[in-house]
Chain A
Amino acid sequence: MEVAAEWSEYARKGRAALKDRDLAAEDEFAALVERNVRRMFRVAYSLLRNSHDAEDAVQEAFLKLHRSGGWRRMEDERAFLARTVWRVALNRVGSRETEEDAAEMEIAAGGESPEEWAAGGDERELLRQMIDRLPEELRRPLVLSAIEGMTSGEVAAVMGIPEGTVRTRVMRAKTELRKRFEAAREVRR
């Protein structure tokens, strides 16, 4: 009888320890979500350009991390999470991406006249529209590098391209925007 009682006591302690460990892990994961959710949302939004889609992508990324347990083995938390959510968002863009790219390239090549752009509103709005109309290969590094705390190295790691390429593309994006912006202003005058 004594042995049985002792054994049940051990089992009860074991279950309690496991429960405590699970609770501790859950708390740890909740803290991780709290720390990174905004940044991950912004990364996803820079690609998807839609709040609902971006939130879904963030949820999916966290769910994957939680299931795989990969969050316990992270070395660089920020970079790892940004890369994860970027990949999830890329999957969501999926096949639609190529079609959008083609359409945007068309617009960038002169699908819409500067008069139409210029008539749209103030300079900020005009610039916003111009950013959206940039080809994806220029737009993505530009908007990612504008996210607070994202260095060109981190952008490169997220996108999976060399850091030098990121810098070149950001420069090209700015030059292109400047050119188009000046052309639109000329028309307005």
Chain B
Amino acid sequence: MRDSDFGKLLDEVLKERAEIEPRVEMERRILERMRSASREPVRWWMPAGAFAAMVIAAILLMNGSRRPEPVIVNAPRVEHPSRHDATKAAGVKEPEAHAEAARVVRHVVSNKTHPAQVAEERMPKLDTFPAMTQKGSLLSGWQSGGAPTTPSSEAAAQALKALKAEQERPLQMDAIEIKPL
């Protein structure tokens, strides 16, 4: 078969298929359907329902995404243990401003993710630079090799003596015992 013959045959077959006719009175059926559709009552509840569903979904989402507020529990104020004890042992009274600065207020922050998170507050700013305590001046004198410069307090002198004796005492180590298995 020649190309032109095949082309002609193909065109005929395609035309035959392309000229297919719809069933009779299709236009009438379409227009009747239009009229019946336009007579249908407006379903007002459909958009209203969709809007309500959107609002509910938005509320649920907002509640779900909000993180719980951390509950801050204020613990009673606790003075710094090391500094307080050392001062007590030496019998030296610290200046009031310095003692205030040594206090630390601890907040226990309760959170789901970090249940035992503890935050320390910053030290309060002092108006005047704290003066050296009596114990401090004693220690600085001993460090420089000399005798205590201002042994005004008997307790301070005794504490210094005890410290020196402790340093000069030879180390005593217990014998290593290895217990049988």
Q: Which residues in A have some Cβ–Cβ distance to B below 8 Å?
A: 29-30, 33-34, 37-38, 41-42, 45-46, 51, 54-55, 58-59, 62-63, 66-67, 123-124, 127-128, 131, 142-143, 146-148, 174, 177-178, 181-182, 185
Contacts and interface: CB of A to CB of B under 8 A. Distances in A.
A63 B37 contact: yes
B18 A147 contact: yes
Interface in B24-61: 26-27, 29-31, 33-34, 37-38
B22 A37 contact: yes
Contacts of B1: 181-182, 185
A143 B14 contact: yes
A34 B27 contact: yes
A124 B23 contact: no
Given A29-B31, A146-B15, 20 more contacts: A33-B30, A37-B26, A38-B21, A38-B22, A42-B19, A46-B18, A51-B22, A51-B23, A55-B23, A66-B37, A67-B37, A123-B9, A124-B9, A124-B12, A124-B16, A131-B13, A131-B17, A143-B17, A146-B11, A148-B19
21 contacts: A30-B27, A30-B31, A33-B30, A34-B27, A41-B20, A41-B26, A42-B18, A51-B20, A55-B23, A58-B26, A62-B30, A63-B34, A66-B34, A66-B37, A67-B37, A127-B13, A131-B13, A131-B17, A143-B17, A146-B17, A147-B18
A54 B6 contact: no
Given A37-B26, A42-B20, A51-B22, A127 B10 contact: yes
Nearest to A44: B22
Contacts, number: 80
Contacts of A124: 9, 12-13, 16
Contacts of B16: 124
B14 to A, nearest CB: 4
B31 A63 contact: no
A181 B2 CA distance: 12
Chain B facing A: main interface SS: helix
A45 B14 CA distance: 13
A86 to B, nearest CB: 15
A18 to B, nearest CB: 14
Contact of B34 (A29, A41, A45, A177): A29
Nearest to A142: B14
Contacts of A143: 14, 17-18
Contacts of A131: 13-14, 17
Given A33-B31, A177-B10, A146 B37 contact: no
A185 to B, nearest CB: 7
